[in-house]
């Protein structure tokens, strides 16, 4: 299992919680593929993941906009690319072309930890938020 670590903290409790939950979703997705769950079950997990991801990105972007964050446009672009990746997975699953061999959930988790460490933690530093 690949999860959230204290070093990922961005100093905003609500966002840390959201990031933790995203790891849970990605792990669920991974398990579903590994266990060969049905297309419908995988679709449900992916749709939940997508909805939750969108919700988190929206609240993060709203918060950054309130702060007039100078990197907001670039940050949004990263979020958008990630949303596209999930949309692609949803389409692949619908077409019955999804498999563990793509090891895509690993890519998602790595993207998430990379994004948190390199992009989200920048705002933690910028606004002097105390991370764990």
Residues 53-82 that bind Fe ion (CB under 5 A): 60
- Taking the least distance from each CB to Fe ion, the nearer of 43 and 117 is 117
DSSP class of 11: S
DSSP class of 4: -
The string of DSSP letters for 71-82 reads THHHHHHHHHHH
Residue 84 burial by Cβ neighbours in a 10 Å radius (0-12, 13-18, 19+): exposed
16 scored as a contact of Fe ion (CB under 5 A) = no
Q: Least CB distance from residue 64 to Fe ion, whole Å?
A: 8
Binding mask 86-125 for Fe ion (x = CB under 5 A): ----------------------------------x-----
Q: Which residue is nearest to Fe ion (CB)?
A: 120
């Amino acid at each position: 299992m690949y999860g959230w670590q204290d070093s990922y903290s961005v100093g905003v409790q609500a966002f840390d919680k959201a990031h933790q939950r995203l790891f849970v979703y990605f792990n669920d997705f991974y398990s579903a593929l590994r266990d060969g769950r049905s297309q419908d079950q995988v679709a449900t997990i992916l749709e939940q993941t997508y909805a939750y991801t969108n919700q988190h990105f929206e609240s993060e972007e709203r918060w950054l906009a309130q702060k007039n964050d100078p990197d907001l446009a670039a940050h949004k672009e990263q979020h958008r690319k990630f949303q596209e990746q999930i949309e692609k997975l949803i389409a692949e699953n619908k077409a019955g072309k999804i498999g563990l061999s793509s090891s895509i959930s690993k890519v998602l988790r790595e993207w998430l930890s990379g994004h948190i460490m390199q992009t989200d933690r920048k705002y933690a530093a910028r606004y002097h938020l105390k991370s764990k």
